[in-house]
Structure 1
Amino acid sequence: MDLKTRLKGRVAIVVGGASGMGKATAHRLVQEGARIVIVDRDDAAAKAAAEEIGAQATHFSANVTDEASMEAAVAYAANLYGQLDIAVNAAGVGASVALVNQTVEQFKQIQDINLTGVFIACKAEARQMITQGQGGVIVNFASTNAVQPAEGLAAYCASKAGVAMFTQVAAMELSSNGIRVVGIGPGLTDTPMVQRVLSVPGAREAFTENILLKRPGRPEEIAASVAFLVSDDASYITGSTLYVEGGSLTQRYPELSRRQSTQAPVVAGGSR
Protein backbone atom coordinates (compact mmCIF):
# COMPACT_ATOMS: atom_id res chain seq x y z
CA MET A 1 0.00 0.00 0.00
CA ASP A 2 1.21 3.51 -0.86
CA LEU A 3 1.88 5.23 2.47
CA LYS A 4 0.96 8.57 0.89
CA THR A 5 -2.64 7.35 0.52
CA ARG A 6 -2.93 4.89 3.42
CA LEU A 7 -5.24 7.28 5.30
CA LYS A 8 -6.85 8.91 2.27
CA GLY A 9 -10.40 10.08 2.94
CA ARG A 10 -10.09 9.85 6.72
CA VAL A 11 -10.54 12.63 9.23
CA ALA A 12 -8.41 12.86 12.36
CA ILE A 13 -8.28 14.99 15.46
CA VAL A 14 -4.90 15.39 17.20
CA VAL A 15 -5.25 16.63 20.76
CA GLY A 16 -2.03 18.27 21.91
CA GLY A 17 -0.96 18.60 18.31
CA ALA A 18 0.69 22.02 18.49
CA SER A 19 4.12 20.77 19.56
CA GLY A 20 6.34 17.78 20.17
CA MET A 21 5.15 14.32 19.24
CA GLY A 22 1.61 15.56 18.72
CA LYS A 23 2.75 18.00 16.05
CA ALA A 24 4.91 15.35 14.37
CA THR A 25 1.89 13.03 14.37
CA ALA A 26 -0.28 15.69 12.76
CA HIS A 27 2.29 16.09 9.99
CA ARG A 28 2.53 12.34 9.42
CA LEU A 29 -1.24 11.77 9.24
CA VAL A 30 -1.57 14.45 6.59
CA GLN A 31 1.37 12.99 4.67
CA GLU A 32 -0.56 9.73 4.57
CA GLY A 33 -3.67 11.40 3.19
CA ALA A 34 -5.79 12.37 6.22
CA ARG A 35 -7.45 15.69 6.91
CA ILE A 36 -6.87 16.82 10.47
CA VAL A 37 -7.87 19.23 13.20
CA ILE A 38 -5.10 20.20 15.60
CA VAL A 39 -6.58 20.74 19.04
CA ASP A 40 -4.51 22.49 21.68
CA ARG A 41 -4.82 24.87 24.60
CA ASP A 42 -2.21 27.09 22.94
CA ASP A 43 -4.30 28.53 20.12
CA ALA A 44 -1.46 30.50 18.54
CA ALA A 45 0.81 27.44 18.41
CA ALA A 46 -2.02 25.27 17.06
CA LYS A 47 -2.75 27.81 14.34
CA ALA A 48 0.93 28.02 13.41
CA ALA A 49 1.20 24.22 13.24
CA ALA A 50 -1.87 23.97 11.02
CA GLU A 51 -0.57 26.68 8.69
CA GLU A 52 2.79 24.92 8.52
CA ILE A 53 1.10 21.67 7.47
CA GLY A 54 -1.13 23.25 4.85
CA ALA A 55 -4.63 23.04 3.47
CA GLN A 56 -5.35 19.58 4.88
CA ALA A 57 -5.08 20.89 8.45
CA THR A 58 -6.97 23.32 10.62
CA HIS A 59 -6.97 24.08 14.33
CA PHE A 60 -9.28 24.48 17.31
CA SER A 61 -8.53 25.87 20.76
CA ALA A 62 -9.61 23.58 23.60
CA ASN A 63 -8.56 22.47 27.07
CA VAL A 64 -8.44 18.70 27.66
CA THR A 65 -9.47 19.15 31.27
CA ASP A 66 -12.75 20.81 30.28
CA GLU A 67 -15.48 18.47 29.02
CA ALA A 68 -17.51 21.12 27.18
CA SER A 69 -14.35 22.36 25.49
CA MET A 70 -13.45 18.92 24.17
CA GLU A 71 -17.01 18.20 23.05
CA ALA A 72 -16.89 21.42 21.06
CA ALA A 73 -13.58 20.41 19.47
CA VAL A 74 -14.93 17.04 18.37
CA ALA A 75 -18.12 18.64 17.04
CA TYR A 76 -16.04 21.16 15.10
CA ALA A 77 -14.04 18.42 13.38
CA ALA A 78 -17.13 16.35 12.57
CA ASN A 79 -19.08 19.33 11.26
CA LEU A 80 -16.17 20.67 9.22
CA TYR A 81 -15.27 17.42 7.51
CA GLY A 82 -18.49 15.44 7.92
CA GLN A 83 -17.01 12.65 10.01
CA LEU A 84 -14.39 11.62 12.57
CA ASP A 85 -12.40 8.46 11.88
CA ILE A 86 -9.23 8.87 13.94
CA ALA A 87 -8.49 10.49 17.29
CA VAL A 88 -5.03 10.90 18.80
CA ASN A 89 -4.83 12.06 22.41
CA ALA A 90 -1.29 13.34 22.85
CA ALA A 91 -1.55 16.22 25.33
CA GLY A 92 0.60 15.74 28.38
CA VAL A 93 2.78 17.37 31.03
CA GLY A 94 5.21 16.27 33.70
CA ALA A 95 7.46 17.46 36.50
CA SER A 96 10.38 15.80 38.30
CA VAL A 97 9.80 16.29 42.02
CA ALA A 98 10.52 13.99 44.95
CA LEU A 99 7.18 12.83 46.30
CA VAL A 100 7.88 14.25 49.77
CA ASN A 101 8.31 17.68 48.18
CA GLN A 102 5.52 17.54 45.64
CA THR A 103 2.37 19.46 46.42
CA VAL A 104 -1.07 17.94 46.16
CA GLU A 105 -1.91 20.63 43.60
CA GLN A 106 1.03 19.57 41.37
CA PHE A 107 0.08 15.91 41.64
CA LYS A 108 -3.55 16.61 40.79
CA GLN A 109 -2.68 18.84 37.85
CA ILE A 110 -0.59 16.11 36.24
CA GLN A 111 -3.41 13.60 36.71
CA ASP A 112 -5.97 16.08 35.38
CA ILE A 113 -4.11 16.66 32.12
CA ASN A 114 -2.47 13.29 31.49
CA LEU A 115 -5.21 10.93 32.67
CA THR A 116 -8.50 12.75 33.17
CA GLY A 117 -7.82 14.64 29.95
CA VAL A 118 -7.55 11.34 28.05
CA PHE A 119 -10.84 10.20 29.58
CA ILE A 120 -12.61 13.44 28.64
CA ALA A 121 -11.25 13.44 25.09
CA CYS A 122 -11.85 9.73 24.53
CA LYS A 123 -15.42 10.02 25.78
CA ALA A 124 -16.27 12.80 23.34
CA GLU A 125 -14.48 11.09 20.44
CA ALA A 126 -16.11 7.73 21.08
CA ARG A 127 -19.59 9.25 21.26
CA GLN A 128 -19.08 10.87 17.87
CA MET A 129 -17.82 7.63 16.34
CA ILE A 130 -20.72 5.66 17.81
CA THR A 131 -23.19 8.18 16.38
CA GLN A 132 -21.63 7.79 12.94
CA GLY A 133 -21.90 4.01 13.18
CA GLN A 134 -18.79 3.36 11.08
CA GLY A 135 -16.23 2.57 13.78
CA GLY A 136 -12.93 4.37 14.19
CA VAL A 137 -9.58 4.35 15.97
CA ILE A 138 -8.51 6.17 19.14
CA VAL A 139 -4.84 6.38 20.18
CA ASN A 140 -3.93 7.43 23.71
CA PHE A 141 -0.42 8.57 24.59
CA ALA A 142 0.98 6.64 27.52
CA SER A 143 4.75 6.33 28.14
CA THR A 144 7.39 3.80 29.05
CA ASN A 145 6.80 5.20 32.53
CA ALA A 146 3.47 3.39 32.51
CA VAL A 147 5.47 0.25 33.26
CA GLN A 148 8.90 1.58 34.29
CA PRO A 149 9.09 3.44 37.63
CA ALA A 150 11.32 6.48 37.97
CA GLU A 151 12.38 8.41 41.04
CA GLY A 152 10.90 11.89 41.09
CA LEU A 153 8.12 10.98 38.67
CA ALA A 154 5.48 9.56 41.00
CA ALA A 155 2.69 11.68 39.56
CA TYR A 156 3.76 11.19 35.95
CA CYS A 157 4.24 7.42 36.24
CA ALA A 158 0.88 7.02 37.97
CA SER A 159 -0.89 9.04 35.30
CA LYS A 160 0.64 7.09 32.41
CA ALA A 161 -0.02 3.73 34.04
CA GLY A 162 -3.61 4.90 34.33
CA VAL A 163 -3.70 5.75 30.61
CA ALA A 164 -2.50 2.25 29.68
CA MET A 165 -5.17 0.58 31.80
CA PHE A 166 -7.87 3.03 30.70
CA THR A 167 -6.99 2.17 27.10
CA GLN A 168 -7.63 -1.52 27.78
CA VAL A 169 -11.00 -0.85 29.39
CA ALA A 170 -12.06 1.54 26.63
CA ALA A 171 -11.09 -1.07 24.02
CA MET A 172 -13.29 -3.64 25.78
CA GLU A 173 -16.29 -1.32 25.95
CA LEU A 174 -16.04 0.10 22.44
CA SER A 175 -15.14 -3.01 20.44
CA SER A 176 -18.81 -3.80 19.76
CA ASN A 177 -19.05 -0.42 18.02
CA GLY A 178 -16.18 -1.21 15.71
CA ILE A 179 -13.87 1.21 17.52
CA ARG A 180 -10.29 0.22 18.21
CA VAL A 181 -8.57 1.88 21.17
CA VAL A 182 -4.80 1.55 21.38
CA GLY A 183 -1.96 3.13 23.31
CA ILE A 184 1.44 4.43 22.28
CA GLY A 185 4.21 4.39 24.87
CA PRO A 186 7.16 6.55 23.80
CA GLY A 187 10.50 6.30 25.51
CA LEU A 188 12.79 9.29 25.87
CA THR A 189 12.12 11.46 22.82
CA ASP A 190 13.70 14.76 21.75
CA THR A 191 10.86 17.24 22.26
CA PRO A 192 10.72 20.73 23.80
CA MET A 193 9.50 19.29 27.11
CA VAL A 194 12.28 16.70 27.30
CA GLN A 195 14.96 19.19 26.25
CA ARG A 196 14.61 20.86 29.65
CA VAL A 197 15.69 17.61 31.29
CA LEU A 198 18.43 16.77 28.79
CA SER A 199 19.98 20.25 29.14
CA VAL A 200 21.03 19.46 32.71
CA PRO A 201 24.77 18.59 32.75
CA GLY A 202 25.22 14.83 32.56
CA ALA A 203 21.54 14.08 32.03
CA ARG A 204 21.72 13.19 28.33
CA GLU A 205 24.56 10.74 29.00
CA ALA A 206 22.71 9.18 31.95
CA PHE A 207 19.62 8.58 29.84
CA THR A 208 21.23 7.47 26.60
CA GLU A 209 23.46 4.88 28.25
CA ASN A 210 20.23 3.21 29.38
CA ILE A 211 18.89 3.03 25.81
CA LEU A 212 20.09 0.12 23.69
CA LEU A 213 20.13 2.30 20.56
CA LYS A 214 22.16 4.93 22.46
CA ARG A 215 20.06 7.95 21.52
CA PRO A 216 16.70 9.54 22.28
CA GLY A 217 13.90 8.91 19.84
CA ARG A 218 12.78 11.46 17.28
CA PRO A 219 9.19 12.77 17.28
CA GLU A 220 8.87 11.57 13.67
CA GLU A 221 9.61 8.00 14.79
CA ILE A 222 6.77 8.10 17.30
CA ALA A 223 4.49 9.63 14.67
CA ALA A 224 5.27 6.79 12.26
CA SER A 225 4.15 4.27 14.87
CA VAL A 226 0.94 6.20 15.50
CA ALA A 227 0.24 6.28 11.77
CA PHE A 228 0.62 2.49 11.67
CA LEU A 229 -1.72 2.01 14.63
CA VAL A 230 -4.53 4.09 13.08
CA SER A 231 -4.19 2.42 9.69
CA ASP A 232 -5.81 -0.77 8.42
CA ASP A 233 -2.40 -2.41 8.73
CA ALA A 234 -3.10 -2.53 12.48
CA SER A 235 -6.71 -3.70 12.12
CA TYR A 236 -6.20 -6.62 14.53
CA ILE A 237 -4.69 -4.50 17.32
CA THR A 238 -6.83 -3.08 20.11
CA GLY A 239 -6.39 -2.65 23.85
CA SER A 240 -2.60 -2.90 23.60
CA THR A 241 0.01 -0.21 24.19
CA LEU A 242 2.90 -0.20 21.74
CA TYR A 243 6.14 0.84 23.44
CA VAL A 244 8.50 2.69 21.09
CA GLU A 245 11.60 3.15 23.22
CA GLY A 246 14.85 2.06 21.60
CA GLY A 247 15.23 -0.84 24.02
CA SER A 248 15.20 1.28 27.17
CA LEU A 249 12.71 -1.03 28.88
CA THR A 250 15.45 -3.65 29.08
CA GLN A 251 17.40 -1.33 31.37
CA ARG A 252 16.99 0.43 34.71
CA TYR A 253 15.64 3.98 34.58
CA PRO A 254 18.35 6.60 35.43
CA GLU A 255 18.60 7.36 39.12
CA LEU A 256 17.32 10.67 40.41
CA SER A 257 20.80 11.55 41.70
CA ARG A 258 22.02 11.67 38.08
CA ARG A 259 19.69 14.47 37.11
CA GLN A 260 18.27 17.53 38.81
CA SER A 261 14.82 17.55 40.32
CA THR A 262 12.69 20.58 39.64
CA GLN A 263 9.61 21.97 41.27
CA ALA A 264 8.88 24.35 38.42
CA PRO A 265 5.17 24.96 37.81
CA VAL A 266 3.48 22.45 35.56
CA VAL A 267 2.13 24.10 32.39
CA ALA A 268 -0.46 22.51 30.10
CA GLY A 269 0.63 22.16 26.54
CA GLY A 270 1.16 19.76 23.70
CA SER A 271 2.67 16.32 23.94
CA ARG A 272 6.08 15.83 25.48
Structure 2
Amino acid sequence: MNRFENKVALITGSSQGIGAACALRLAKDGCDIILNGHKFDERGEKLIAEIEGMGRKAAFLVADLSKAKEAIKLVTDAVDTFSRLDILVNNAGVEKNANFWEVTEEDYDLVMDTNLKGVFFGIQSFVNYCRKNKVEGAVINMSSVHEEIVFPHFAAYCASKGGLRMLTRNLATELAPFNIRINNVAPGAVSTPINQDLLEDKAQLKKVLQNIPLRRMGKVEDVAGVVAFLASDDAAYVTGSTYFVDGGLTYHYEEQ
Protein backbone atom coordinates (compact mmCIF):
# COMPACT_ATOMS: atom_id res chain seq x y z
CA MET A 1 0.00 0.00 0.00
CA ASN A 2 1.41 3.38 -1.06
CA ARG A 3 -0.58 5.69 1.20
CA PHE A 4 2.31 8.10 1.76
CA GLU A 5 3.24 8.77 -1.87
CA ASN A 6 5.18 12.03 -2.28
CA LYS A 7 5.33 12.55 1.49
CA VAL A 8 8.35 12.96 3.77
CA ALA A 9 8.59 11.97 7.43
CA LEU A 10 11.13 12.91 10.09
CA ILE A 11 11.48 10.31 12.85
CA THR A 12 13.62 11.39 15.80
CA GLY A 13 15.65 8.82 17.71
CA SER A 14 15.37 6.35 14.85
CA SER A 15 18.68 4.49 14.91
CA GLN A 16 17.12 1.44 16.56
CA GLY A 17 14.07 0.05 18.34
CA ILE A 18 10.67 1.65 17.90
CA GLY A 19 12.03 4.61 15.92
CA ALA A 20 13.70 2.34 13.36
CA ALA A 21 10.54 0.25 13.07
CA CYS A 22 8.49 3.40 12.43
CA ALA A 23 10.92 4.48 9.72
CA LEU A 24 10.72 1.11 7.97
CA ARG A 25 6.93 0.95 8.22
CA LEU A 26 6.39 4.44 6.82
CA ALA A 27 8.87 3.72 4.03
CA LYS A 28 7.06 0.47 3.24
CA ASP A 29 3.88 2.52 2.85
CA GLY A 30 5.57 4.90 0.40
CA CYS A 31 7.13 7.64 2.54
CA ASP A 32 10.59 9.17 2.12
CA ILE A 33 12.39 9.17 5.46
CA ILE A 34 14.64 11.46 7.48
CA LEU A 35 16.34 9.46 10.22
CA ASN A 36 17.88 11.01 13.33
CA GLY A 37 20.18 10.12 16.20
CA HIS A 38 23.07 11.36 18.32
CA LYS A 39 25.53 9.88 15.82
CA PHE A 40 25.53 8.31 12.38
CA ASP A 41 26.87 4.77 12.54
CA GLU A 42 26.33 1.33 11.03
CA ARG A 43 22.74 1.25 12.30
CA GLY A 44 21.88 4.33 10.28
CA GLU A 45 23.74 3.02 7.26
CA LYS A 46 21.78 -0.24 7.41
CA LEU A 47 18.43 1.56 7.71
CA ILE A 48 19.20 3.84 4.77
CA ALA A 49 20.08 0.81 2.67
CA GLU A 50 16.84 -0.95 3.66
CA ILE A 51 14.71 2.10 2.91
CA GLU A 52 16.41 2.74 -0.42
CA GLY A 53 15.89 -0.94 -1.19
CA MET A 54 12.16 -0.25 -0.96
CA GLY A 55 12.53 2.42 -3.62
CA ARG A 56 12.25 5.32 -1.17
CA LYS A 57 14.67 8.13 -0.35
CA ALA A 58 16.40 8.26 3.03
CA ALA A 59 18.84 10.50 4.88
CA PHE A 60 20.27 10.70 8.39
CA LEU A 61 20.60 13.94 10.38
CA VAL A 62 22.56 14.16 13.63
CA ALA A 63 21.01 16.20 16.45
CA ASP A 64 20.73 16.21 20.24
CA LEU A 65 17.04 16.68 20.98
CA SER A 66 17.70 17.75 24.58
CA LYS A 67 18.81 21.09 23.15
CA ALA A 68 15.98 23.27 21.82
CA LYS A 69 18.17 24.95 19.19
CA GLU A 70 19.15 21.57 17.76
CA ALA A 71 15.53 20.37 17.74
CA ILE A 72 14.52 23.46 15.78
CA LYS A 73 17.45 23.14 13.37
CA LEU A 74 16.73 19.45 12.84
CA VAL A 75 13.30 20.28 11.44
CA THR A 76 14.61 23.02 9.15
CA ASP A 77 17.43 20.73 7.96
CA ALA A 78 14.90 17.97 7.30
CA VAL A 79 12.85 20.32 5.14
CA ASP A 80 15.97 21.30 3.22
CA THR A 81 16.96 17.66 2.64
CA PHE A 82 13.99 16.64 0.47
CA SER A 83 12.39 20.09 0.01
CA ARG A 84 9.32 19.27 2.11
CA LEU A 85 8.15 17.71 5.37
CA ASP A 86 4.70 16.26 6.03
CA ILE A 87 5.03 14.03 9.10
CA LEU A 88 6.92 14.52 12.36
CA VAL A 89 7.36 11.51 14.66
CA ASN A 90 8.83 12.57 18.00
CA ASN A 91 10.29 9.26 19.12
CA ALA A 92 13.54 10.29 20.87
CA GLY A 93 13.38 9.89 24.63
CA VAL A 94 15.35 8.96 27.73
CA GLU A 95 14.60 7.63 31.20
CA LYS A 96 16.61 7.57 34.43
CA ASN A 97 16.03 5.10 37.27
CA ALA A 98 16.46 6.62 40.74
CA ASN A 99 14.66 7.05 44.03
CA PHE A 100 12.84 10.38 43.97
CA TRP A 101 14.90 11.69 46.89
CA GLU A 102 18.12 10.93 45.00
CA VAL A 103 17.30 12.42 41.60
CA THR A 104 19.94 14.91 40.51
CA GLU A 105 19.20 18.16 38.75
CA GLU A 106 21.39 16.99 35.87
CA ASP A 107 19.35 13.82 35.32
CA TYR A 108 16.07 15.68 35.76
CA ASP A 109 17.09 18.24 33.14
CA LEU A 110 18.22 15.56 30.69
CA VAL A 111 14.89 13.71 30.90
CA MET A 112 12.67 16.78 30.78
CA ASP A 113 14.71 18.51 28.07
CA THR A 114 14.73 15.44 25.82
CA ASN A 115 11.21 14.17 26.40
CA LEU A 116 9.33 17.46 26.61
CA LYS A 117 11.32 20.63 25.88
CA GLY A 118 12.95 19.32 22.70
CA VAL A 119 9.62 17.92 21.53
CA PHE A 120 7.91 21.25 22.25
CA PHE A 121 10.31 23.29 20.14
CA GLY A 122 10.59 20.66 17.41
CA ILE A 123 6.82 20.78 16.98
CA GLN A 124 6.94 24.58 17.01
CA SER A 125 9.48 24.55 14.17
CA PHE A 126 7.36 22.07 12.20
CA VAL A 127 4.21 24.14 12.74
CA ASN A 128 5.94 27.30 11.53
CA TYR A 129 6.98 25.45 8.38
CA CYS A 130 3.46 24.09 7.83
CA ARG A 131 1.81 27.47 8.33
CA LYS A 132 4.24 29.25 6.02
CA ASN A 133 3.86 26.66 3.26
CA LYS A 134 0.19 25.77 3.85
CA VAL A 135 1.05 22.13 4.57
CA GLU A 136 -1.48 19.92 6.36
CA GLY A 137 0.91 18.20 8.74
CA ALA A 138 0.69 15.26 11.12
CA VAL A 139 2.59 15.01 14.41
CA ILE A 140 2.89 11.76 16.35
CA ASN A 141 4.52 11.86 19.78
CA MET A 142 5.93 8.71 21.34
CA SER A 143 4.56 8.89 24.84
CA SER A 144 4.27 5.96 27.26
CA VAL A 145 1.71 4.13 29.36
CA HIS A 146 3.32 6.18 32.12
CA GLU A 147 1.50 9.27 30.98
CA GLU A 148 -1.40 7.41 32.65
CA ILE A 149 -0.06 4.89 35.20
CA VAL A 150 2.60 5.21 37.88
CA PHE A 151 6.21 4.12 37.52
CA PRO A 152 7.97 4.38 40.91
CA HIS A 153 11.63 5.46 40.77
CA PHE A 154 11.08 7.17 37.39
CA ALA A 155 9.46 10.39 38.61
CA ALA A 156 11.04 12.72 36.02
CA TYR A 157 10.13 10.34 33.19
CA CYS A 158 6.49 10.14 34.32
CA ALA A 159 6.33 13.93 34.69
CA SER A 160 7.68 14.37 31.16
CA LYS A 161 5.13 11.98 29.67
CA GLY A 162 2.28 13.49 31.66
CA GLY A 163 3.33 16.89 30.33
CA LEU A 164 3.45 15.49 26.81
CA ARG A 165 -0.12 14.24 27.16
CA MET A 166 -1.41 17.70 28.05
CA LEU A 167 0.75 19.39 25.42
CA THR A 168 -0.75 17.13 22.76
CA ARG A 169 -4.32 17.76 23.89
CA ASN A 170 -3.74 21.51 24.03
CA LEU A 171 -2.06 21.71 20.63
CA ALA A 172 -4.76 19.60 19.00
CA THR A 173 -7.15 22.50 19.58
CA GLU A 174 -4.68 25.27 18.80
CA LEU A 175 -3.40 23.69 15.57
CA ALA A 176 -6.73 22.44 14.20
CA PRO A 177 -7.39 25.65 12.20
CA PHE A 178 -4.21 24.87 10.21
CA ASN A 179 -5.23 21.24 9.58
CA ILE A 180 -2.28 20.04 11.63
CA ARG A 181 -3.17 16.91 13.59
CA ILE A 182 -1.28 15.77 16.68
CA ASN A 183 -1.61 12.53 18.63
CA ASN A 184 0.31 10.40 21.11
CA VAL A 185 1.21 6.74 20.89
CA ALA A 186 1.79 5.18 24.31
CA PRO A 187 3.68 1.87 24.23
CA GLY A 188 3.68 -0.49 27.18
CA ALA A 189 6.25 -3.25 27.62
CA VAL A 190 7.92 -3.61 24.22
CA SER A 191 10.86 -5.80 23.20
CA THR A 192 13.53 -3.21 22.45
CA PRO A 193 17.25 -2.84 23.30
CA ILE A 194 16.32 -0.64 26.29
CA ASN A 195 14.43 -3.61 27.79
CA GLN A 196 17.15 -6.21 27.19
CA ASP A 197 17.79 -6.77 30.91
CA LEU A 198 14.10 -7.47 31.48
CA LEU A 199 13.94 -9.89 28.57
CA GLU A 200 16.83 -11.87 30.04
CA ASP A 201 15.38 -11.98 33.58
CA LYS A 202 12.77 -14.75 33.34
CA ALA A 203 11.34 -14.20 36.82
CA GLN A 204 10.88 -10.46 36.32
CA LEU A 205 9.53 -10.99 32.82
CA LYS A 206 6.92 -13.44 34.14
CA LYS A 207 5.83 -10.84 36.71
CA VAL A 208 5.45 -8.19 33.99
CA LEU A 209 3.47 -10.49 31.71
CA GLN A 210 1.02 -11.29 34.50
CA ASN A 211 -0.15 -7.64 34.32
CA ILE A 212 -0.64 -7.76 30.54
CA PRO A 213 -3.95 -9.30 29.44
CA LEU A 214 -2.49 -10.39 26.08
CA ARG A 215 0.32 -12.14 28.02
CA ARG A 216 3.18 -11.08 25.77
CA MET A 217 5.65 -8.27 25.25
CA GLY A 218 4.85 -5.90 22.43
CA LYS A 219 6.82 -5.89 19.20
CA VAL A 220 8.22 -2.71 17.71
CA GLU A 221 6.09 -3.43 14.65
CA ASP A 222 2.95 -3.25 16.84
CA VAL A 223 3.81 0.33 17.70
CA ALA A 224 4.89 1.27 14.17
CA GLY A 225 1.55 0.12 12.76
CA VAL A 226 -0.35 2.57 14.97
CA VAL A 227 2.09 5.38 14.12
CA ALA A 228 1.52 4.71 10.40
CA PHE A 229 -2.25 4.87 10.91
CA LEU A 230 -2.07 8.19 12.77
CA ALA A 231 0.25 9.67 10.15
CA SER A 232 -2.07 8.70 7.31
CA ASP A 233 -5.29 10.09 5.89
CA ASP A 234 -7.06 7.11 7.47
CA ALA A 235 -6.77 9.13 10.69
CA ALA A 236 -7.89 12.41 9.12
CA TYR A 237 -10.50 12.92 11.87
CA VAL A 238 -8.22 11.93 14.76
CA THR A 239 -6.42 14.54 16.83
CA GLY A 240 -5.64 15.13 20.49
CA SER A 241 -5.79 11.43 21.36
CA THR A 242 -3.47 8.93 22.98
CA TYR A 243 -3.41 5.42 21.54
CA PHE A 244 -2.19 2.87 24.07
CA VAL A 245 -0.22 0.00 22.51
CA ASP A 246 0.17 -2.08 25.64
CA GLY A 247 -1.64 -5.40 25.35
CA GLY A 248 -4.29 -4.08 27.77
CA LEU A 249 -1.81 -3.20 30.53
CA THR A 250 -2.98 0.32 31.33
CA TYR A 251 -6.57 -0.34 32.33
CA HIS A 252 -5.88 -3.81 33.67
CA TYR A 253 -3.24 -2.19 35.92
CA GLU A 254 -5.74 0.35 37.21
CA GLU A 255 -8.12 -2.43 38.20
CA GLN A 256 -5.54 -4.24 40.37
TM superposition score normalised by structure 1: 0.87
How far apart are residue 40 of structure 1 and its match?
1.4
> Does structure 1 residue 14 correspond to structure 2 residue 11?
yes
How far apart are residue 56 of structure 1 and its match?
2.1
Match of 2:44 in 1: 46
Whichever residue aligns with residue 51 of structure 1, its letter is A
Q: Secondary structure at the match of 1:251?
A: helix
Task: Give me the whole-angstrom Cα distance separating, in 2, the residues matched to 1:133 and 1:205.
Answer: 50
Identity across the alignment (%): 32
> Does structure 1 residue 34 correspond to structure 2 residue 31?
yes
How far apart are residue 51 of structure 1 and its match?
2.8
TM-superposition CA deviations, 1:46-88 (whole Å, max 9, x none): 3443233225211111111223322332222222222111010
How far apart are residue 114 of structure 1 and its match?
0.9
Q: RCO (CA 8 Å, sep 6+): is it higher in 1 or 2?
A: 1
Whichever residue aligns with residue 22 of structure 1, its letter is G
TM-superposition CA deviations, 1:78-126 (whole Å, max 9, x none): 2222211101000011122221222222122111111112112111111
> Does structure 1 residue 104 correspond to structure 2 residue 105?
yes
Task: Give me the whole-angstrom Cα distance separating, in 1, the residues matched to 2:223 and 2:161.
Answer: 16
Task: Give me the whole-angstrom Cα distance separating, in 2, the residues matched to 1:92 and 1:77.
Answer: 19
RMSD, aligned CA: 1.7
> Does structure 1 residue 178 correspond to structure 2 residue 176?
no
Task: Give me the whole-angstrom Cα distance separating, in 2, the residues matched to 1:47 and 1:71.
Answer: 24
Task: Give me the whole-angstrom Cα distance separating, in 1, the residues matched to 2:190 and 2:83.
Answer: 34
Q: Secondary structure at the match of 2:34?
A: strand
Match of 1:91 in 2: 92
- 1:192-207, aligned counterparts within 5 Å? 192-200=193-201, 202-207=203-208
TM superposition score normalised by structure 2: 0.92
Match of 2:165 in 1: 164
TM-superposition CA deviations, 1:156-213 (whole Å, max 9, x none): 1111111111111121221111100111111111111122344345221111110001
Task: Give me the whole-angstrom Cα distance separating, in 2, the residues matched to 1:85 and 1:220.
Answer: 22
8 Å CA contact retained: 1:83, 1:132 = no
Task: Give me the whole-angstrom Cα distance separating, in 1, the residues matched to 2:75 and 2:93.
Answer: 19
Task: Give me the whole-angstrom Cα distance separating, in 2, the residues matched to 1:47 and 1:63.
Answer: 19
User: Tell me, which stretches of 5 or more residues in structure 2 are unaligned?
Assistant: none
Match of 2:142 in 1: 141
For residues 89 and 114 of structure 1, do their structure 2 counterparts lie closer, same or farther at Cα, with a shift above 3 Å needed? Answer: same
Instruction: Point out the more displaced range, 179-188 or 38-47.
Output: 38-47
How far apart are residue 142 of structure 1 and its match?
0.7
For residues 110 and 167 of structure 1, do their structure 2 counterparts lie closer, same or farther at Cα, with a shift above 3 Å needed? Answer: same
Match of 1:23 in 2: 20
Q: Secondary structure at the match of 2:167?
A: helix
Whichever residue aligns with residue 146 of structure 2, its letter is N
Relative to total residues, which structure has the larger helix share, 1 or 2? 2
